[in-house]
Structure 1
Amino acid sequence: MKLLLIIPILLSFLLSLQGMPKWIKKCKQIGFLWEDMNKYKHPKNVASSGGFIVVVSFILGILFYVTIRTFIIKSPDGINLEIFALLSVILILSIVGITDDFLGWKYGGLSKKFRVFFAFLASVPLIAINAGTSSMSIPFLGTINFGILYPLLIIPIGVVGATTAYNILAGFNGLEAGQGIIILSFLSFVAYQTGSSWLTLTGLVMIAPLLVFYFYNKYPAKVFPGDSLTWTIGALIAVMAILGNFEKIAMFIFIPYILETGLKLRGKLKKYSFAKPNKNGGLDMP
């Protein structure tokens, strides 16, 4: 029976494996290309928004997992409700992300205020089901019960913060995908150790297409993730932490992202930190 749970992981992997080359080819045909700041002279020859394929593969893999739970395992618990809340968050942010990518290609993308608003809007499914546990153990303060403030304040801050911060620490070939693979692998292990095996499988269903994407995104990149991927990974990390009740672990992991966000805020989020590509294919300090 448990072997059936491998199928959603394989499905998301194979869908991404088949879809990514086709996406790259189609982007080149229609000119949906971005400059590669990690290559000498910054050629505009890299396919955009490859995260779209990753997200579609993930969603279909998770829906297949729900099908197994419903018709084969016939699980009586309320996990399916949490799964659909998770999918709703991912779907909202992926749609906003791909929209921002397309608008950015032609018109400069969505404003920062709109991005924050939509990230907040994406947290509504979690608020609606009262996800997570309102009691949290805070260092030096002990256990605090946030009550109604947890769904109304902590959850939106978590989703908005993780989505925004993960999107900021980016810019190198393979960086976003590589970080996502590492973080989600660790959080999947944490979920398994804390008894949330369904979250473990959820993480693995995302890791599988990310591995395929990383192959095409590592230097020299053939495709970029776009906001459709960075927003999705950031949100998934937040949602897993909330539903699995390991928010403190996720916060610890996000320390580099928080620091990077602080550095970017000094430049009012208008400055970039790309390295300088040289003729030998390497990167020099800017």
Structure 2
Amino acid sequence: MLKLLCISVLLLAIDYIWIEESKRKKVVARDIHKPYEVFCPRIGALPNSLILSLALISAGMGKEALISLYLLFIGLFDDVAGLKNMEKVLLAGIPFLIIEGHPVLFLPAFLFPVISFLFGSFSSNATNTLAGYNGLETGLISIVSGFMAIVSVFQGNEAALTSYLIVLSCYLPFLFFNIYPARAFPGNAATFQMGGVVAAIALSNGQEIPLGIMMIPYLADFLLKMASFRSTFRKIPASVDENGYISPPGNLSLAGVLLRIKKMREPQLVISIYGIEAFSCIISLILLLSGFPAK
């Protein structure tokens, strides 16, 4: 625990330096959900992503670390040069094929590569698309990692517990800079890695069912966006009035549905999605404790 605390404290300092240097170099993007003009570093969580991968290596989590690094660079390439949607789907799933197979519910082990590819690709892309509001991506993955750590405690899985705590220790410091009003955005390098590394830990430890239940809000967001895919692909942003209230974006999404139900400012919207995610995590824990199969 002391090592994890040291990592968090170190990252707070490194993040501050990286964010200030990014602003000086003008590696920034406009925060579109503010009623005033403000720009923030757009790949602000890169140090966190790199140190997360190194921490996993030092903890002996070789496969998880390799997947983490791979997704970091895929996301970084998307930040710099851009990737097509299908390229993101295909490229994100490839590294999960290295995870050793096991049966999942009623599905035999020989189907595990298919499950691993689809689950890993979905998790990586989902944390990259349920995004765009201050503190949303980093906060959600912190909630998921925290609850998956609790799952690991109940299962007596020390390796998985250590891995999720590493994820928390590396991304919670960035939340300090990303929470409303954000001083930095995580960037695709981090958002691809966030979901992917948690999926890699879960798949390696037979915890894909609890994590899958926790990912239901991400699935809902994905299905809503696919239901209005033409507007989704046009990427019509939400608008903000002079009082900071956000109008729903042009496409359907989890955030869009909430904004259609109630008029909200950005912090209220993010907290509402946090609540939905926490509810899904609690349901997952209840099912696990009631004997719902974790493998």
Q: Find the counterpart in structure 2 of residue 14 from structure 1.
A: 9
Among 93, 97, 101, the alignment partner of 2:79 is 101
Q: Find the counterpart in structure 2 of residue 71 from structure 1.
A: none
Q: In structure 2, do the counterparts of structure 1 residues 254 and 37 end up closer, same or farther at CA, with 3 Å as the change threshold?
A: same
Q: Percent identity?
A: 24
Stretch of structure 1 that moved more, 207-216 or 178-187: 207-216
AA matched with 1:113: M
Among 67, 71, 75, the alignment partner of 1:89 is 67
Q: How does 1:167-186 map to 2 (within 5 A)?
A: 167-186=128-147
- Pair 1:238-2:206 in alignment: no
- Pair 1:125-2:66 in alignment: no
TM-score, with structure 1 as normaliser: 0.80
Q: Note the residue ranges of structure 1 that are not aligned, 5 or more in a row.
A: 1-5, 67-79, 104-108, 138-143
Q: Find the counterpart in structure 1 of residue 21 from structure 2.
A: 26
Q: How does 1:130-279 map to 2 (within 5 A)?
A: 130-131=100-101, 133-134=102-103, 136-137=104-105, 144-150=106-112, 152-265=113-226, 266-268=228-230, 269-272=232-235, 274-279=237-242
Q: Given that residues 171 and 274 in structure 1 are in contact (C-alpha distance below 8 angstroms), is that contact kept between their aligned partners in structure 2? A: no
Superposition deviation, residue 251 in structure 1: 1.4
Measured in 2, the distance between the counterparts of 1:193 and 1:154 equals 24
Superposition deviation, residue 92 in structure 1: 0.2
Q: In structure 2, do the counterparts of structure 1 residues 14 and 147 end up closer, same or farther at CA, with 3 Å as the change threshold?
A: same
AA matched with 2:165: L
AA matched with 1:51: A
Number of aligned positions between the proteins: 246
Q: In structure 2, do the counterparts of structure 1 residues 271 and 250 end up closer, same or farther at CA, with 3 Å as the change threshold?
A: farther
Q: Given that residues 32 and 47 in structure 1 are in contact (C-alpha distance below 8 angstroms), is that contact kept between their aligned partners in structure 2? A: yes
- Secondary structure of 2:242's counterpart equals coil
- The CA deviation string for residues 134-157 of structure 1, in whole angstroms up to 9 with x for no partner, is 2x33xxxxxx2423111x211111
AA matched with 1:59: S
Q: Given that residues 23 and 50 in structure 1 are in contact (C-alpha distance below 8 angstroms), is that contact kept between their aligned partners in structure 2? A: yes
- Secondary structure of 2:33's counterpart equals coil
RCO (CA 8 Å, sep 6+): is it higher in 1 or 2? 1
Q: Given that residues 275 and 283 in structure 1 are in contact (C-alpha distance below 8 angstroms), is that contact kept between their aligned partners in structure 2? A: no
- Secondary structure of 2:29's counterpart equals strand
Superposition deviation, residue 56 in structure 1: 1.7
Stretch of structure 1 that moved more, 183-192 or 257-266: 257-266
Q: In structure 2, do the counterparts of structure 1 residues 38 and 94 end up closer, same or farther at CA, with 3 Å as the change threshold?
A: same
- The CA deviation string for residues 25-48 of structure 1, in whole angstroms up to 9 with x for no partner, is 1111221101101211443x1001
Q: Find the counterpart in structure 2 of residue 69 from structure 1.
A: none
Q: Find the counterpart in structure 2 of residue 57 from structure 1.
A: 51
- Secondary structure of 2:233's counterpart equals coil
Q: Find the counterpart in structure 2 of residue 73 from structure 1.
A: none
AA matched with 2:52: F
AA matched with 2:51: S
Superposition deviation, residue 273 in structure 1: 7.0
Q: In structure 2, do the counterparts of structure 1 residues 270 and 41 end up closer, same or farther at CA, with 3 Å as the change threshold?
A: farther
Measured in 1, the distance between the counterparts of 2:9 and 2:36 equals 35
Q: In structure 2, do the counterparts of structure 1 residues 191 and 273 end up closer, same or farther at CA, with 3 Å as the change threshold?
A: farther
TM-score, with structure 2 as normaliser: 0.78
- Secondary structure of 1:276's counterpart equals coil
Q: Given that residues 127 and 191 in structure 2 are in contact (C-alpha distance below 8 angstroms), is that contact kept between their aligned partners in structure 1? A: yes
